[in-house]
Chain A
Amino acid sequence: MIEQALKGRRNYRIWSLALLVVAAGGVYASALQSADGFVHTGMGNNAIWGLYHAQLPFLASIAAASLAILVPGTLQKHSFLASLAPLAAFLGATASAMSLFFIAADLGMQRRILTLLLNPSPGAPASWQVPLLLLFLALTLTVGWAQVGAMRKGVKPPVWIRSAVMVAIPAGIALPVISAFTLAVVPGSELWTSALLAPRLMASGVAAGAGIMLLMAVTAEQLAGFKAGEETLERLAAVGAWAGLVFLALTGLDAATAMLGNMTADTAALALLYGNSPFAVVSWFALFSGTLSTGLLLVPSLRRSFIAAASLGSLLALSVWLQSGLTLILAGQLKDASAAAGYAPAVPELLLTAGIWAGAVLLMTVLLKITASAQLEREGL
């Protein structure tokens, strides 16, 4: 199957090459960082975490969201999501692999990375991240690969993948919960110390995950002849819209509790997010684009148009990336308005972040290509 990754039309080759170039930029920035440390980043005493850490809650939620498709797609007998199950598995695998890369990029002592596995401190939520991500990566990659293999041969997927998916369920659900708990242990950070953070991350992940899967499925359909089915895509768009609604509602509940209760520390944190911080513009854009895309995805005729659904899904995913990732971390870590002036990512930091994303998109492209080829091959038989 892997040979399918290497052949393809001209556009596929150009796209892959472009991604490779961006990924190579990331490797260069990573080498720079290994040599000189974080001096090449915008991080400092007023921005303890930066762009790298800001990806983690978002990616954990995406990994968990892949279960929303993978579980019915593999465990139910006649699921309309079955055709998307391998894509969901690969999305989960890619998100966990990215998380691991971003965790590694964010360590001041990268050569001690194994310490995270060898000397875990179980009382600290953060020590569960790497082991769980590794487990989830292994499970989803194996399940996806086995499904595509079965699809190519035109047989039913092996029975053991059901057990693998069942193990993946608690591991995957734990990812956003752990991610929320790593933030909850920071006393006095009111954006983070909310019990709603874990469910908010999960709902946002399902919304963004559905958005990304729509984009992936429609792209694979247009370019590689992959067929997910019209009804399946419409339902996927509906899943995204409903999850988006839940996410917005939870965000609103958090804010309303803070404001109605006049909880000064909480409203001060909200003021930093939406008011007197450099992130306010981004926060408002994210909230607006999230509301708009969710609202439009609720319209049946827009869900039925592949292009509209894929574009709205992507906008929803972008909005979630900004809300559950960037602004959550960057504005959440601010202690007061005077610290808000601080953070602007430096060029090597941007290169490394873009590099990891490009590597992930490349991995996803290759896996999609293999899936689409397997489907075509079976139809050709």
Chain B
Amino acid sequence: MMKNDRREFIRKAGMGLLAGMGAASGLLTGGGFERTTSAAWAAVPGEQGLRWGMLFDTRRCPEGCTLCIESCHHTHNVPDIASPEGKIEWMHKENGRELLGSLCASTAAVPALCNHCAEPSCARACPTGSIFRRTDGIVAIDYHRCVGCRSCMQSCPYGEVSFNWSDPRAALKNPTVEYPTRQRGVVEKCNFCSDRLVRGKKPSCVEACPEGAISFGNLNDPSSEIRRLLESSETLQRKPELGTRPSVFYII
């Protein structure tokens, strides 16, 4: 099944490339990207209501700007650990080509975070149900149930789960009182600001972005801004071929 999907993906990617070459030579009109199908954000059959999603318009994301990351990490008491082996990140910026694959024309850094997949492989691997998908589509972690086996970290194909290898509180310079700190030995990741959503606020990265490049909303609501953007733009997801159905989209 997976192999088939990959072959299909490669086939489509190849067709996209051909179409792109055609477009460049003026033979064809239309873009070189494969358009994300509506299945990527529409509700799972039988699944009604809320499914939070996020869309980055990377054309409006300035190179070198990290305001969203800083705001996210401050709001959620994410420790600042320099060593790559111990680093904890809820949000980070990476080379767009590496993040989104060859369909991404740009190598500029684009923001990345937990994809809050509709089919999360982390939740599939967790032996205690400590990482789970909520009914609003957010993949959440119960820090008080996590045993620290790192199965979720291993099985996240995006590498978006971090583990507290050392005491995170020691690396917190200016903690926020509104959100709990974690202890050594548990995993953590982006929570789509479920703590702020419940208070009627937008996610902190969305608020912090001076360019308005981040849209957040209900993917199952056809009248939401994010759906309007998804339907009017060419968008990409990270590793869609794995069948995890990410809720985070990118306009390149």
Contact = CB atoms under 8 A, between A and B. Distances in A.
A187 to B, nearest CB: 5
Given A46-B84, A107-B148, A185 B128 contact: no
A124 interface: yes
Contact of B145 (A43, A108, A115, A188): A115
Contacts of A38: 165-166, 185
A186 interface: yes
Q: Is the interface of B mostly helix, strand, loop or mixed?
A: loop
B5 to A, nearest CB: 11
Contact of B124 (A45, A116, A185, A193): A185
Nearest to B151: A126
Contacts of B157: 187-188
Contacts of B35: none
A319 to B, nearest CB: 25
Contacts, number: 121
A109 B186 contact: yes
Interface in A98-135: 103, 106-110, 112-113, 115-116, 119-121, 123-127, 129
Given A48-B154, A120-B128, A335-B159, A188 B147 contact: no
B2 A193 contact: yes
B85 interface: yes
Contact of A124 (B84, B127, B244): B127
B185 A37 contact: yes
Contacts of A112: 145-148
Contacts of A120: 127-129
A48 B184 CA distance: 15
B215 interface: no
Contacts of A292: none
B139 interface: no
A265 B184 CA distance: 34
A62 B128 CA distance: 26
A263 B145 CA distance: 39
A342 B85 contact: yes
Given A37-B166, A121-B127, A44 B2 contact: no
Interface string B124-154: 1111111000000000000001111111011
A333 interface: yes
A189 B157 CA distance: 9
Interface string B86-119: 1100000000000000000000000000000000
Interface in A71-107: 103, 106-107
A121 B126 contact: yes
A355 B84 CA distance: 30
Interface string B146-176: 1111110111010100111111000000000
A24 B36 CA distance: 58
Interface string B184-209: 11110000000000000000000000
A123 B124 contact: yes
Contacts of A129: 127
A182 B126 CA distance: 10
Contacts of A44: 83-86, 165
Contacts of B6: 265
B242 A187 contact: yes
Nearest to A343: B85
User: Nearest 8 A-B pairs (CB), nearest first?
Assistant: A108-B148, A44-B85, A108-B185, A121-B129, A127-B127, A126-B127, A109-B148, A186-B155
Interface of B: 2-3, 6, 83-87, 121, 124-130, 145-151, 153-155, 157, 159, 162-167, 184-187, 239, 242, 244
Given A107-B185, A115-B128, A120-B129, 5 more contacts: A37-B167, A49-B154, A107-B148, A109-B146, A189-B154
16 contacts: A37-B164, A38-B165, A44-B86, A45-B86, A46-B84, A48-B153, A107-B149, A108-B164, A115-B130, A115-B147, A116-B147, A120-B129, A124-B124, A124-B127, A124-B129, A265-B6
